[in-house]
Amino acid sequence: MSHHLAALADELAALARNYKGPSSTDGPAQRQKILGLTKQINDAVREPREVSQEYREVMAEMGALRLLVDWKTFDHIPCLPESISYCDLAARVHAEEPLLRRLVWMLVSRGMLRQVGEDRVAHARFSDAFASGDPRGAWFKVAYDSGNVVYSQWRNYFAKYGRKQPTQPTHNPHAYAYGQEDKTFFEIVQGERLGDFLTTMQTLEHLLPVRGMFPFTWIVQNTHLVSDDAALIVDVGGGQGQALRQIMQECPDIPAERVVLQDLPSAIEEAKATDIAELRGVKKMPHDFFDEQPVKGALVYYIRRVMHNWSDENNARILGHIREAMAPESRILITEQVMANPPPPEASCLDLLMMGLGSQERTEKDWYFLADAAGLELVKIWKSPQTAVAVIELTKK
């Protein structure tokens, strides 16, 4: 044990000496190695009872943190190096001082906040993320409300519905947890919850890259594969065209008049009203991807951040409509996460969040299964060198 621990410590020390920060060329990879080694060292010296104790602490911390965020407590803690008394903080959030102190103590004990003396509290390194309007805090709220609240009802949900995968947008664990089993996620999530969700989705945009995987220059090089008046790219469920903008920046030779942006009417109206310069000339078409695909014979049908929202059954319907519209040489390009087997914690966590909505993240094997179920052939998975995101290329069988 001591020899193994010493070897880990030596490796960690060497990495720490050479670490230039996350913005350096090797920074992200070095950072992940450092975090991995510290976890290995921690796991090597911990005892089983300490694992159970940590889980109890984290559960209590999450509950206290979510409540204090809801009370906007972090808005009233001054910027470092200043602090605020428990009495004044309690008055500002309209809570009894002993109650507030007990909740804050949980966060102080875990290092999320810092106590000054016996009666004052100050921010710690990460706590300002939980002030109102910060997208990092919004992501925590979304994860808690769509995760922890739902997880706490899993036992009851599976007792009622059986030990089988949730696959529908209603009557799933999320709908059950909120007592609205016949409603979808967006029918349940309104007001502040919806605002937090939209903020989070915008923040996470960079985690699902568009470029750097599939070579979109292929579109320009292969226009001869479809008729002269066919669309070259149809962005299915493309929102306000965030992905299209990047694709057209990479391939400025794609004529805008041969590009189609599809989404539900509200999203398309917003895209028209926004009138982004790069998308002028692009046809903006209201379309529900569960209906027949109206654009026939396009070279590429592009789908990003859609498939993980739906079960295999529903995705097979979406892809089936596109398959029927495809020309012999058409491609479907799906940009989504491809989970490792076994997946790392972040991917597995997201997968369980999606399970609550009756959907899932997918491994490479899962993507092959889905393609086959939809009557399509998976040609290649174009992987990102930095993330688990990939472009899945499909053709007609």
Could you list the active site residues?
308
The angle, 0 to 180 degrees and rounded to 10, between the axes of the packed helices 97-109 and 48-70 is 130
What DSSP string runs through 114-162? EEETTTEEEE-SSGGGGSTT-HHHHHHHHHIIIIIHHHTTHHHHHHHH-
Nearest to 350, CA basis, from 339, 335, 334, 366: 339
Helix (H) or strand (E) holding 92: helix 86-92
Cis peptide preceding 345, ω within 30 of 0:
no
DSSP 206-274: GGS-SSSSS-THHHHHTGGGS-TTS-SEEEET-TTTHHHHHHHHH-TTS-GGGEEEEE-HHHHHHHHHH
Q: Count Cβ atoms below 10 Å from residue 290 Cβ, excluding itself.
A: 10
Contact between 358 and 239 (Cβ < 8 Å): no
Tokens, residue 1: 């044990």
